[in-house]
Amino acid sequence: MSQFIGIDITKELGKGAYKKAYKAIEVTNENDSLFTNTGLNVSSLAVVSIELKNNKKVEKLNKIIEEIKLQNEYANNEPQLAPKIYLVTIQYGNEFLKNIRINDFLENGIETYSSLIDANKLIKIYFLEELCGPTPGKKQQPLIIDDNFFRLVDELIDNLIAKSNLLFTDFNPQNTCPQYDASGNLINIMALDLDLGFSYSIDQIKNDINNILQKKDYSQSEVDENIVIDFIKDYMFIQFYYMLLKYATNLTPENTDFIKRKIEVRLPQEKLLKQLSIFIPIILMYCSKLLQTPNTNNIVILNDIQYKFPIFLYVPILSLYKDIAIYKKYWILTENESYLKNYIMNLLFNEIASVFYNNLIFTDIVDIVNPEYKVNLEHFASSASKKEENPYSPINTKKELNKKEYAAEDAEYNIDDDLFVPSKGGKRKRKTRKNKRLTK
């Protein structure tokens, strides 16, 4: 008997700026189907739909292929780091190309399928994927936040860094794909929405810090790579648990207390200061690069950088500063740095600290500019530092996953942009650079 798979448009599992995820269902005839005779259990599948719009359809197709290629590579990694993609179907107008194998789509997509693109035709691409369990911020109780949960999040961060040598700047609970065994126990966490637009390489971060050090006349200094890896791990850890504590609606008081106790040990407040002190030169260098693009008017505002570093978008108080100039070409480095510290990083630190810690130690900008613990960039510079073994090497133990076959009610995850964003901010959308600036 033939198997026909379609979608239930009333069972949308999540959506983003250009993606929608649906429950995969069996349909009775081929005309209503998107995939046929897959040999897969439909209850363990989801369909992700992407629509190509306007006159940039080929450009968008290129970007989609790049992102899906990364997901496919990570899905076939050991350990598995992303949900598997099985088949692709392309709709152009009222016609369909069904059951394209994922490897064929990735290898031949541009040459073969860009020829189908017509400005006057609807173009949709459907991906048949492994269904995720509910994300931590959406899972119904009992949501178990324990040492195993923290271990699996840390393993995912470690393995993503080891696999990619990248910081994924949009790593958060909604961009994860939990896996549960038949008894409902959490056994693995994978990544969703691996958009390289939200990434920064280890080498680039190291170069950015070194460039700032050289501009400050620390010409013989070089930041150690282990400090950079530590920074990346902490960045992803901080954003994940900030988003979980700040915006998840399903945490019990016991969950919250447990997370905060773990954070106190894993990330004491002086280490959060260290994190921000390393983040400052990265932001300064990124702003400097933005000034090399057209229509900047020699000024960078916070709104310009929050799409590379979404943490600035997710902190509600910073929405008041999105149009404030935080970097000016005609300022010297120390002026830009001081402005960034006083008007942005102070607010960022206090907001994260207020969510993470029950008893705040540092509450004044003086502690960030000149902290008691001397947590500043120069403190970590070294010209001939001894290389230590990286404490964040991934755990690549092979696991036999007794996967649960998920039903639709399990898959409450959202994809891409539909996150825990505050209601006033709405959904994050890609925006073009605005010319609105505050003058000196």
pLDDT digits (tens, 9 = 90+) for 15-37: 776 788 998 999 999 989 999 98
**Do 16 and 170 meet the contact criterion of CB atoms below 8 Å apart?**
no
Q: How confident is residue 134, by pLDDT bands cut at 50, 70 and 90?
A: confident
Q: Looking at the predicted structure, is the pLDDT value of residue 367 above 70?
A: no
Q: Looking at the predicted structure, is the pLDDT value of residue 148 above 50?
A: yes
| Residue 136 belongs to some domain of the structure | no
Q: How confident is residue 364, by pLDDT bands cut at 50, 70 and 90?
A: low
pLDDT at 411: 45
Neighbours of 358 (CB within 10 A): 9
> What value does the CA radius of gyration of the chain take, rounded to a whole number of Å?
23
pLDDT at 199: 94
Range of the domain at 157: 147-382
Please state, in angstroms and rounded to a whole number, the distance separating the CA atoms of residues 70 and 203: 19
Q: Do residue 103 and residue 157 come from a single domain?
A: no
How many domains is the chain partitioned into structurally? 2
Q: Looking at the predicted structure, is the pLDDT value of residue 409 above 70?
A: no
| Residue 391 belongs to some domain of the structure | no
Q: Do residue 17 and residue 156 come from a single domain?
A: no
| Residue 308 belongs to some domain of the structure | yes
**Do 163 and 395 meet the contact criterion of CB atoms below 8 Å apart?**
no
Helix then strand then coil, in percent of the chain rounded to 5, is: 45, 20, 40
Q: Do residue 366 and residue 253 come from a single domain?
A: yes
Question: pLDDT > 70: what percent of the chain?
Answer: 79
Q: Do residue 127 and residue 151 come from a single domain?
A: no
Q: Do residue 93 and residue 216 come from a single domain?
A: no
Average pLDDT over the chain, rounded to an integer: 80
Q: Do residue 89 and residue 174 come from a single domain?
A: no
pLDDT at 365: 53
pLDDT at 14: 79
Residue that wins the pLDDT comparison between 82 and 403: 82
Q: Looking at the predicted structure, is the pLDDT value of residue 381 above 80?
A: no
Residue among 84, 15, 10 nearest 49 (CA): 15
Q: Looking at the predicted structure, is the pLDDT value of residue 80 above 50?
A: yes
Q: How confident is residue 61, by pLDDT bands cut at 50, 70 and 90?
A: confident
Q: Do residue 208 and residue 356 come from a single domain?
A: yes
Q: Do residue 212 and residue 330 come from a single domain?
A: yes
| Residue 179 belongs to some domain of the structure | yes
Q: Do residue 216 and residue 304 come from a single domain?
A: yes
> Tell me: the pLDDT tens digits for 188-228?
999 988 888 899 999 999 999 888 888 876 555 678 888 89
Q: How confident is the model over 74-91, as a mean pLDDT?
A: 94
pLDDT at 155: 97
Greatest mean pLDDT among 38-52, 143-157, 204-218: 143-157
88, two tokens: 């692709």
pLDDT at 392: 37
Q: How confident is the model over 313-342, as a mean pLDDT?
A: 89
Q: Do residue 195 and residue 310 come from a single domain?
A: yes
pLDDT at 303: 92
Q: Looking at the predicted structure, is the pLDDT value of residue 90 above 50?
A: yes
| Residue 28 belongs to some domain of the structure | yes
Catalogue the E-assigned strands of 135-279: 166-168, 176-180, 186-191, 199-201, 222-223
Q: Looking at the predicted structure, is the pLDDT value of residue 1 above 70?
A: no
∠ CA(397), CA(414), CA(409), 5° rounding? Answer: 85
pLDDT at 434: 40
∠ CA(49), CA(52), CA(54), 5° rounding? Answer: 155
List the single range of 59-63, 130-134, 309-313, 344-348 with lowest mean pLDDT.
59-63
pLDDT at 256: 96
**Do 414 and 174 meet the contact criterion of CB atoms below 8 Å apart?**
yes
- Asked which of 106, 131, 156 is the last residue of a domain, the reply is 131
